[in-house]
Amino acid sequence: MKTNRRKFFQIAGVAGAGVLSGVDIVQYQSSRHKETALASIQEAVAKQHSQQFNMCGYAAPKLETVRIGFIGLGNRGPGAVERMSNIEGVQITALCDKNPEGVKRGQMILEKHGMPSAKEYSGSEDAWKQLCESPDVDLVYICTPWSLHTPMSVYAMENGKHAATEVPAAVNGRGSMAAC
């Protein structure tokens, strides 16, 4: 009995030492990891970086008159035309929808507000490209289905226009990168 008790304490003692050693190893590894992580952070902070342009705080030069071209005059587009028609300093110079009825709806809103008729782009899936290329447009306002938001925004910007789009501006990561 005595022998068994002694044996038990011997085994328990060894196991206890083993457990303690295990904790020590984990702590050691963890502190080594922290040291390495800290060293890599310190190294990164010490590096000199050249400043790269980003859009934070960017303000585009002021336009006295903002000439807007709308693409997509289904449900949402006419409401946007209506809202913009009430803003001082806005001209609506172009209206586009592949469906000519949509363009007609937009023209009626302009008429109601006593504004001049806008140039019409319609009758094909690609007519919007001509609107984006037009020298009479400063801002392209996009109210088409989701899949067209990114290509239309990007094409407008490639043609030197500001672009505003209904959400979402992009439906995947690649589109987000393209829009940036």
Residues near ligand NAD (CB under 6 A) are 71-77, 96-99, 102, 125, 128, 143-146, 148, 166-167
Beta carbon of residue 122, minimum distance to ligand NAD (angstroms, whole number): 8
Q: Using CA atoms, how far apart are residues 28 and 49, in angstroms rounded to an integer?
A: 34
**Residue with Cβ nearer ligand NAD (34 or 76):** 76
Closest residue to ligand NAD using C-beta atoms:
74
Nearer to ligand NAD, 93 or 144 (CB): 144
> Cα dist. 134→55, 98, 161, 164, 178 in Å?
25, 17, 9, 16, 22
Residues in the chain, overall count: 180
Report the residue number, 97 or 138, with the smaller CB distance to ligand NAD. Answer: 97
Q: Which residue lies nearer to ligand NAD by CB, 21 or 147?
A: 147
Nearest distance, CB of residue 133 and ligand NAD, angstroms:
14
Do 77 and 166 touch, CB atoms closer than 8 A? no
Helix (H) / strand (E) element for 179: namely: helix 173-179
